[in-house]
Amino acid sequence: MARYIDEILQPGERVLYSTNAHWIFYVPAILAWIVALALFVASRQMIDIYSVMILCLFGSGLVALAALFWTLKGWFHRFTTETDVTNLRVVHKTGFIKRRTFEMALDKVESVDVNQSILGRILNYGDVTINGVGEGRETIRTIASPLAFRSSITTR
């Protein structure tokens, strides 16, 4: 499956920078996998108490199903999100069947704001708001390397 940006490039247009949704979307899945593993290990320790062992195994399976769901949800979000800067415009696409795109010509960009939490600064993710001249405002949430993304837009 081709990337969205490759399908819409104009003649003479080239991609200068690409980024994606940050891996922080996997945190709920990671925590759930840890809980599922802990419950499974606890069930192996409770061989003498059959009812507690069954309860731990059931809980482990239930949490593992939730973890699998969150893993697939995070992967699908990252797979269907593209954020690129070309020599002519900024392009952001989300969604697979229901697609939402945002494009703004670089010469229409008035300012680019980056919002990072403390954890975002440590793990290098954040929200980027692009303000356009007469074209409104668009916020791209939880992208990796937001400062490098901003620099690729503002450097000409």
Chain centre distance of CA 8:
22
CATH 2.30.29 for the 15-21+82-154 domain, yes or no: yes
Residue 61, SS3 per DSSP: helix
pLDDT in tens, the chain (156 residues): 678 998 999 999 999 999 989 999 999 999 999 999 999 999 888 878 888 889 999 999 999 999 999 999 999 999 999 999 999 999 999 998 899 999 999 999 999 999 999 999 999 999 999 999 886 899 999 999 999 999 999 986
DSSP-assigned letters across all residues of 66-128: HHHHHHHHHHHHHHT-EEEEESSEEEEEE-SSS-EEEEEEGGGEEEEEEE--HHHHHHTEEEE
pTM value is 0.82
Q: Two tokens at 106? A: 């670089």
